[in-house]
Amino acid sequence: MAAPAARRLVTPRFGIASVFLLATLGFFGLTTVLPWEFALVLVAAGGAAAIALRVASAGGRTNSAAIVVLVVIGILAAGAPDAWLAGVAGGASVLALLAWLADDPGRVAGSMRRAVPTLAVAGLAFLVAWGSAFLLPTSQVPTGVIAALLVGVLLIATLLLARPDVLEREAPLSA
Partner 1 sequence: MSSPAPAPAPFHWRPRGYLLAGGGSAFLVLAIAAHDAVMILIAVPLLVAPVAAVLVGPRPSPRAALAWRSFGGTGEVRILGDVRGDPPGTTDDFSLAFRRPADLTEESPPRVEWWPGSVRFELRWRSPRPTIEVVPPPTVVWQDPIGLVERPAIGTAHGLPVERYPLDLHRLGAVRLERTRQLPGKSRTHHIGTSGEYFGIRNAAPNEPPRRINWRASARTGRWLANEYEVERTGDLILLIDTRPSVLGDLVDERFLGVARAAATGIASAFLRQKTRVGYAWFGEFLGAIPLSTGRTQGVRIRQAIRATRRTEIEGPSERCAISLRRFYPPGVTVLLLSTLGGDTACDLVVHLRHRGFPVVVLNPSWRALAPPTATLPPREDALAERLAQLERRMRVAATIPYASVVDWEDLTSLGDLAHLLQHPPHRRV
Residues near partner 1 (CB under 8 A) = 1-7, 62-63, 66-67, 70, 73-74, 77, 80-83, 86-87, 90-91, 93-95, 98, 101-102, 104, 107-108, 110-112, 114-115, 117-119, 121-123, 125-126, 129-130, 133-134, 139-140, 143, 146-147, 150, 153-154, 156-157, 160-161, 164, 167-168, 170-175
Contact 33, 79 (CB under 8 A): yes
Closest contact distance (angstroms) between CB of 158 and partner 1 is 10
Burial class (CB in 10 A: 0-12, 13-18, 19+), 25: buried
Write out the DSSP string of 87-154: HHHHHHHHHHHHHHHHS-TTS-TTHHHHTHHHHHHHHHHHHHHHHHHHTSS-SHHHHHHHHHHHHHHH
**Closer by beta carbon to partner 1, 35 or else 163:** 163
Closest contact distance (angstroms) between CB of 92 and partner 1 is 9
Closest contact distance (angstroms) between CB of 123 and partner 1 is 7
Closest contact distance (angstroms) between CB of 96 and partner 1 is 10
Q: How many residues does the chain have?
A: 175
Q: Is the dihedral of CA 138, 78, 29, 71 positive or negative?
A: negative
Contact 50, 68 (CB under 8 A): yes
Closest contact distance (angstroms) between CB of 115 and partner 1 is 4
Name the CA radius of gyration of the chain, rounded: 19
**Closer by beta carbon to partner 1, 22 or else 103:** 103
